[in-house]
Amino acid sequence: MSIKMDARQLYLQVIDEIKRGIEIGKYKEKEKLPSEFQLSKHLGVSRATLREALRILEEDNVVTRRHGVGTFVNPKPIFSSGIEQLNSVTYMIEQSGRKAGSQYLTTELLEPTEDDRERFAPKDIQKLAKIERIRTADKKPVVFCIDKIPAGLVPIDELHKNDSLFKLMEAYTGTYISYAVTYIEPIGYHDRIYEILNCDPEESLLLLKQMHYTEEDEPVLYSANYFRSDVFSFHVLRKRL
């Protein structure tokens, strides 16, 4: 097979051809692509052209290249959203057509650390409820959540009855979260979290650190959410000023 009849640059043709192969199931998720020699011969292009195409596909998170092993097809995320929208994890999972659930690991009242006091300033925090949960989609673990909430904003003994802290906070105290300041970090291997989420050691996680505020700019919830990157992807709409 040759793709040289197309007028576009060859590496762009190779990208489209590999993506097409993934879509029709020729190249399956989590499985290794044919070797560079086999692919370049099959597509009728040089290995340099193929490598450029694979480099771009890896940047787009379509494939992962493992040195000395080969190139693997990444699973397609089940949920993709603009991060400009503030939605609960429950909403994100349900929007993907899955059933959202929670497994509570720990729930405890703690003395706030200095970092906690700075995060919730100028609010004077005496006690914080720290909640560790596994969020599930169709009973499969997809997000590990650590939430910190000033004591009294949610009923600790009611947590297991509601998957959404947003909704529980609104129902219990009328506190409505209006916006959040978010920081995103890629996370490599972490023994505990990878075991909890049943991740492949080669996969990465997306950590979203978020401080949530009411319309009156009152800080009411700090979250550190570890998303499986094979399940979730986020994008940002940027406008030119």
Q: What is the pLDDT of residue 32?
A: 92
Q: CB-hemisphere CA count at 13 Å for 59?
A: 7
User: Stretch 106-116: mean pLDDT, rounded?
Assistant: 93
Q: How many residues does the chain have?
A: 241
User: What percentage of the chain exceeds 70 in pLDDT?
Assistant: 93
- The predicted model gives 34-58 an average pLDDT of 92
Distance of CA 213 to the CA centre of its chain: 22
CATH code for the domain defined by 79-235: 3.40.1410.10
Which has the closest alpha carbon to 143: 180, 90, 182? 90
Decide: helix, strand or coil at residue 111.
Answer: coil
The whole model's pTM is what? Answer: 0.71
- Domain coordinates in residue numbering, the chain: 10-73, 79-235
pLDDT for the residue numbered 234: 80
Mean pLDDT for all residues in the chain: 87
Q: Which of 197, 189, 229, 212 lies closest to 132 in space, CA to CA?
A: 197
Q: What is the pLDDT of residue 82?
A: 67
CB atoms within 10 A of CB 65: 14
Which segments within 138-204 are labelled E, that is strand? 140-150, 179-187
CA distance 106 to 45: 55
Which CATH fold would you assign to the domain 10-73?
Arc Repressor Mutant, subunit A (1.10.10)
